[in-house]
Chains A and B, each alone.
Chain A
Amino acid sequence: MSLADPTDATIAIDADEAARLRRRRLEKFGKWILPAAVLVLMLVIWDRIVVWNAIPHYILPGPRLVFETLIKDWAMLFEALLVTVQITLMALAVAVIGGVGLAVLFTQSRLVEMSFYPYAVILQVTPIVAIAPLIFIYVDSRIAGLLLCAWLVAFFPVLSNTTLGLNSADHNLRDLFRIYGASRWQTLRFLQLPSALPYFLGGLRIAGGLSLIGAVVAEYVAGTGGLKSGLAFRILEAGYRLNIPRMFAALILIAATGVIIFAGLSFLSHMLLRKWHESALKQDR
């Protein structure tokens, strides 16, 4: 057999390679098409159930009505969405600052960690719904109360993941830093913080979802509409008025917000780690 003509590159793809390419194409395609197909199917089933059983809209509205409500009430819902998103993002920011700050403090002083870690756990395991009413009794500012609730839910994953990450720095690298006479600050900055980054980002993704939950729960508890009401309050209000389509519309907005936060944080994580961390590397070899 003669050597393959180098210009005839396509010949080089054998059956295995072709199968692999096909699989990859299918995966790329299926990742989007399949969930979309499921969505369409569910919407059709939902619609048919409502129509065939003649279910009144104050019990279960059809998807079309929900969508129309979303458009019709957009101005009001969007304003509420902004309030909720604002609380969520602020809580997330405070969770990051508080969580990372505490984690650094914990790793710098074993005494501080031993003293305060149990309380961080207690705050985390006590259901926020149980603490929230108390918070709104003692905290006058409604926005401060909401923030505090959302923060309480969100800060723990950041704290525990970052602490774990700060303590996970390679032991030989630690030794190396000691041999080179690195100061505490240098060790923290050049070794521990970069080591903790992947862990922190993992915690951040969880905290993003949790701060939305915290914000929504806090709004439920805080209740009072006031001038600026978030989505949770709109859901409550719509419930009292049996405006079920609006409840669904608000619910969709909340879910979409959660998805966007998660996707955004995943993207951030990918961008920060893509050059060096295993989790962000494609299987390219």
Chain B
Amino acid sequence: MEQVDKTFNGNVVALKGMSLQVREGDFISLLGPSGCGKSTALRLISNLLHPTAGRITWTGAHETGDLGVVFQEPTLMPWATVAQNVWLPFRLRGKSYGEVKDQVLEALKLVGLEKFQTSYPRELSGGMKMRVSIARAMVTRPRLILMDEPFAALDEITRFKLNNDLLKLKEKIGCTVIFVTHSVFESVFLSDRIVVMAARPGRVITELEVDAEYPREETFRTSAEYAAYARQATDALHLAMGEAA
């Protein structure tokens, strides 16, 4: 297993002395109240921002295609069809549609939207748009996928469904995921490590390992184990909020 180390010590107001080590294949949740710098952390990792101090290092060669991103909004191009939207990361690398058609269709199939490739985003529901966004992030088979509260705007039923599907997808692709969320339950269900953060200044309070076996099924949601982890995470979050207040 290849090792991805990442350390950064942002000295910006948004983040203070944040260190995080991510191993290949991890599913890490950044959990914390608003303004704790979760999104800033993602923007630093995706190189949209540069750290004021400290640094972010990648093990092995790091190219632009090694990163997939899913935002809070589906962020699709409304003028392009579903397939064209998923093609985008390849298109920006100069690949014609014909060259990567199989990969695009495969990605759509993984998110269960192979029948909608010629639809326009406006014809899809919120959950389906998010699936397209996920397909786009995965289509290049990146090493790391960053997700910034991707399911925050969805209803709970859709969110649960997408949570389940996301785990299956990660299993299939074998990528690393860093997932920003407000939701304790989402973070426990999804991740093997929860990084709890506090606000003003944004910093890491504690890290929680969630040792439950993957694949996690729907039954995990109602297990005592799950409840115990959720309780731990909630306590940690309270600590974080208490400190910030």
Contact = CB atoms under 8 A, between A and B. Distances in A.
Q: Secondary structure at chain B's binding surface: helix, strand, loop or mixed?
A: loop
Interface stretch (A64-72, A153-161, A172-180, A202-210): A172-180
A238 B64 CA distance: 70
B124 to A, nearest CB: 12
B92 A180 contact: yes
B165 interface: no
Contacts of A181: 64, 92-93
Nearest to B72: A172
A170 B77 CA distance: 9
A276 B92 contact: no
Output the residue of B43, B64, B92, B121 with the most chain A CB within 10 A. Answer: B92
A180 B75 contact: no
A179 B69 contact: yes
B73 A179 contact: no
A186 B77 CA distance: 14
Contacts of A182: 92
A194 B77 contact: yes
Nearest to A181: B64
A179 B77 contact: no
A190 B122 contact: no
Contact of B69 (A170, A176, A191, A276): A176
A275 interface: yes
B48 A179 contact: yes
B79 A197 contact: yes
Interface string A190-217: 1100100100000000000000000000
A281 interface: yes
A173 B64 contact: no
Given A176-B69, A182-B92, A276 B64 contact: no
B92 A186 contact: yes
Interface string B28-64: 0000000000000001001110000000000000001
A57 interface: no
A276 B80 CA distance: 8
B91 interface: yes
Interface in B85-111: 88-89, 91-93
Contacts of B93: 180-181
A23 interface: no
A176 B78 contact: no
Nearest to A193: B79
Nearest to A186: B92
Given A172-B73, A173-B75, A176-B75, A190 B120 contact: no
A24 interface: no
A226 B181 CA distance: 75
Nearest to B71: A172
Given A186-B92, A190-B88, A276-B120, A179 B75 contact: no
A277 interface: yes
A78 B96 CA distance: 50
B179 to A, nearest CB: 17
Contacts of B73: 172
A180 B68 CA distance: 8
A190 B73 CA distance: 19
A202 B37 CA distance: 40
Interface in A250-282: 275-277, 281
Nearest to B121: A276
A64 to B, nearest CB: 51
B162 interface: no
Contacts of A170: 75
Contacts of B77: 173, 190-191, 194
B4 to A, nearest CB: 17
Contacts of A173: 75, 77
Given A190-B88, A275-B120, A276-B120, 7 more contacts: A172-B72, A172-B73, A176-B75, A179-B46, A181-B93, A186-B92, A190-B91
28 contacts: A172-B71, A172-B72, A172-B75, A173-B77, A175-B46, A175-B71, A176-B69, A176-B71, A176-B88, A177-B92, A178-B48, A179-B46, A179-B48, A179-B67, A180-B92, A180-B93, A181-B64, A181-B93, A186-B92, A190-B91, A190-B92, A194-B77, A194-B79, A276-B120, A276-B121, A276-B122, A277-B78, A281-B122
